[in-house]
Amino acid sequence: MSGYIREASRNPFVLRIAMLAALGGLLFGYDTGVISGALLYIKEDLRAGALAQSWIVAGLLAGAVVGALAGGRLADLISRRRTLLVAGVIYVVAALAAAVAQNAGQLVAARVVLGLAVGAASAVVPLYIAEHTPPKIRGGTVSYNQLMVTIGILVAYLTNFALSGVAHNWRWMLGLGAAPGVVLVAAMLAVPYSPRWLMMRGRRDEARAVLRRTRHADADVEGELDEIESVVAQERRHSWRELFGPRLRPMMVVGIGLAVIQQVVGVNTVVYFSPTILTYTGLKADDAIAQALTVGITNVVFTVVAVLLLDRVGRRTLLVVGTAGLTVALALLGAFFGFGWEREAPWLALAALVLFIASFAVGLGPVFWLMISEIFPLAVRGQAMAVCSLANWAANFVVSYYFLQLVDAIGRAWTFWLYAGLSVAGIVFFVTRVPETRDRSLEEIERELSGPAAARTSPPGRPRHV
C-alpha cells in the first residue's frame, strides 16, 4: 500500500494539481448528498407537490446530462482548465440562485443550471488529472476526484444533520454549496493547462514547461513529448457519428457499459435513500438519518483504500472483487425484506448497506471515472468521455427516479434481487470486455486499443513512459 504514497510523494506538483482539480468532485458529491435532507423542508416551505419534488431532485441530473456533453466539447475547444473555471462560476451563481428561490419553478430552474456545471465538471476533472499524471500513480491520483465526491456526500449529510433545527435551513444547505465553487474558481486560476491539450494545439514549448514541473528530474520529457506528438499526428477530429464507428466502438462499449453498470447496481438508491431503507426496518426517522452517516463515512474510507490499491492490484481486479461484494450485499438486502428478518435481525440492513457501499467504493465508484479518462484516443477523449458521463447521468436519473415506483410495483425484496442480477451481469461484462490499464502510458493504451493498424503506424523504438 505504501507504494502509492512513496511514488506519489515524488511528484508533489502533480498532487497539488490533482487536489485542486478534484474540488470539482466536491461540488458533484455535495449536491448529490444535500438534496434528500433539504427536500424535507423545501416541500413544506415552497408547498411543492410530489411532481415538483421529483423535479427538484431530478432537475440536477437532467442538467448534468447536457453539461457532461457540452463540457467534453468545451474541454477540447477552450481547454480542460478553462472549462472547469466556467463550470465553477456557473455553479456559484446557480447555488446562490437555488438558495433564494421563491417558488418550486425557480428552484427547479436553478437546479438544472447547477446540473450543467456538475455534469461538465464530472467529465472534465478525471480527464484533466489523467493528462497530467505519470502512469505509475495515475489510478490513485485520478481517483482523488471520486474521493472528493464521497467527501462531498458526507459533508452534505453532516450539514443536513447540523442544520436540522435552524430557520430557513434548506436555503443554507443549498447556498453553502457556493463555497467550494468559489474555491474551485480560484484553484483553476492557479493550475497549468494539460500538456496533452497544449500538444493538440501545437504548443510544444508550453507543454515541455508543464512536463518539466510534473515529472521527476531524471524523466525523459522529450521522449514523452514525441510520443504525444506521434498520436496527435495520427489523429484528427472525429464526428459524433464516428465515435460509434468500427474503430472506436469497442472502447465506447467499455465506457458506456461501465457508465450504465455503475448506476444500475443501485448505488444512488443507497446514497439517496439509505435513511428511507433503514426506516423500513422500523427505525425512527432521526435514528435512521444518524445511522445513514455510517454509510457516508464507509464510502470515504474505502475510497481511500481504492486510491492506495488501484496502481498496485489493477483496475480489473478491484472491479470484479468490489462488484462481487456488492452483489452479496444486495442479495442479503433482498433476503432481509423477502424473508421478513426485520424483527429478528434489524442490524442486518445496516450491515448490508455498509458492505454494499464499501464494495462500491473500492471498485465501480472510482474505476468507472478513471477508465473513461484512460481508454480513448487523445483526439476524441473529450467527446468520448462526455458521452460516457452523459450515459452515467442518464442511468442515474432513471434508477433514482423510478426506485420508489419499482418498490411499489415489485416489492422491496425483488427490487434488490433485480439489482443483484444486474451486478452479476456487470461482472461478466468486466471479465470479458474490460482491459487492464494499470501502469501504461495513455499513448500505449491508445495504440493497443486502436488495434493492429494503429500499432503498425506508430514510430518504432519510441521510449515507453511507464
- Which spans of this chain sit near ligand BGC (rule: CB under 6 A)? 32, 146, 149-150, 153, 262, 267-268, 271, 299, 365, 369, 392, 396
Longest C-alpha distance within the chain, in Å?
68
Q: What is the dihedral of CA 343, 416, 283, 362, to 10 degrees?
A: 120
* Distance set, CA 371 to CA 138, 180, 319 (Å): 10, 26, 11
Nearer to ligand BGC, 170 or 369 (CB): 369
- Please report, as a single letter, which amino acid is at residue 282: G
Nearer to ligand BGC, 39 or 231 (CB): 39
* Distance set, CA 157 to CA 33, 112, 153, 160, 272 (Å): 6, 21, 6, 5, 10
Dist CA 31 CA 149 (whole Å) = 9
Q: Pick the closest to residue 33 from 273, 196, 235, 248 (CA basis).
A: 273
**Coil/strand/helix, residue 449:** helix
Q: Which residue reads 495513455 in cell numbers?
A: 442
Q: Which residue reads 515507453 in cell numbers?
A: 464
DSSP letters, 50-79, are: HHHHHHHHHHHHHHHHHHHHHHHHHHHHH-
Q: DSSP state, 363? A: T
Nearer to ligand BGC, 268 or 274 (CB): 268
What is the dihedral sign for C-alpha 288, 174, 387, 457? negative
Q: Which residue reads 498520436 in cell numbers?
A: 231
- Under 8 Å CB-to-CB from 409, ≥6 apart: which residues? none
> Which three three-digit cell numbers place residue 425?
451481469
- Please report, as a single letter, which amino acid is at residue 58: A
